[in-house]
Chain A
Amino acid sequence: MSNAFSKDLIAASAVPLVLSILKQGDSYGYAIIQSIKTASGGQLEWSEGMLYPVLHRLEAKGLVKAYWGQSETGRKRKYYALAREGREELDQSRQAWADMFRILQTLDKEAPCSN
């Protein structure tokens, strides 16, 4: 786990980050973990115990579609693809995160209250 991000923040950002990765193309668990590690420059390291339940919940909600394929060595591999509903959810999440960031910036710029 990263020192820079709290557990709560990691949990809250998991869904939009997974959906963003899948927007780039179909992927599987191990590759998703590697993608997030690379994209965050190693700051964000997801555990398997966190990622797979998230993927299964997204699948159960219909935000991602799963299918079985084969790895380069021929073993079975479960791939995930972004569903239409997932795309919509991602757009909403992006907007929400952008709004939250804007609020933070606004509060940062405001002068502190004078008593």
Chain B
Amino acid sequence: MFELEVEVREWCERMRRQFGLPQGRVLELLDHIECEVQRLQNQGVPIEDAFRRAVAGLGEPDALGRELSKAGNPYSVPQVLWAIATGRAQPVRELLNDKQIMHWHLGTALFFAGVILVGAWLLKGTAMASYWTSIVILVWMIPFTALSAAPACRRRRA
């Protein structure tokens, strides 16, 4: 039996993996497909046909994926950092693909590990030394939490 949710989810996963598209771009296409499916269904087209026609209407997946992965990221590095610092990282995360998110985590892990080591060395023998690691880890949790949630495609599967 045809299940629209499952088909849409699989399509989403394929596009995301094959072309390394950020979550935001895939979500935008999903909205587009769902709008078109709804329009066709309102015209009396069966849901399975409606889905196939909506996806076909997007054109050749390779060409679409290439075009979508070309467009630049509208956020500069300072804007990304500011968004994270002010707790508004969600829209930024939607513009990063899985690889960029992995690089982000690796970068922050190395940075904070360095901060812990240097801080501990500088503060050794002081009362602050015992709190240093905890403080740094707490600060680390802000960007980590902001970017750690799984992309919506995978969330939908749960």
Contact = CB atoms under 8 A, between A and B. Distances in A.
Interface of A: 28-31, 47-50, 52-53, 56-57, 59-60, 62, 66-68, 71, 73, 75-78
Contact of A52 (B29, B72, B73): B29
A53 B69 CA distance: 8
A49 to B, nearest CB: 4
A56 B71 contact: yes
B25 interface: yes
A66 B94 CA distance: 12
Interface string B19-30: 000001101111
Contacts of A49: 58-60, 63-64, 67-68
Interface stretch (B31-39, B107-115, B124-132, B140-148): B31-39
B32 A57 contact: no
B72 to A, nearest CB: 4
A28 B29 contact: no
A30 B36 contact: yes
Given A29-B32, A78-B31, 9 more contacts: A29-B31, A48-B57, A48-B58, A49-B59, A49-B68, A71-B34, A75-B30, A75-B31, A78-B24
A60 B58 contact: no
A19 B59 CA distance: 24
B71 A53 contact: yes
B156 to A, nearest CB: 10
A67 B95 CA distance: 12
The 6 closest A-B pairs by CB, nearest first: A56-B71, A60-B72, A30-B35, A59-B74, A60-B74, A49-B64
Contact of B29 (A48, A50, A60, A68): A48
B68 A76 contact: no
Contacts of A59: 74
Given A48-B64, A52-B68, A76 B27 contact: yes
Interface centre among B24, B30, B64, B71 (most CB of A within 10 A): B71
A76 B67 CA distance: 22
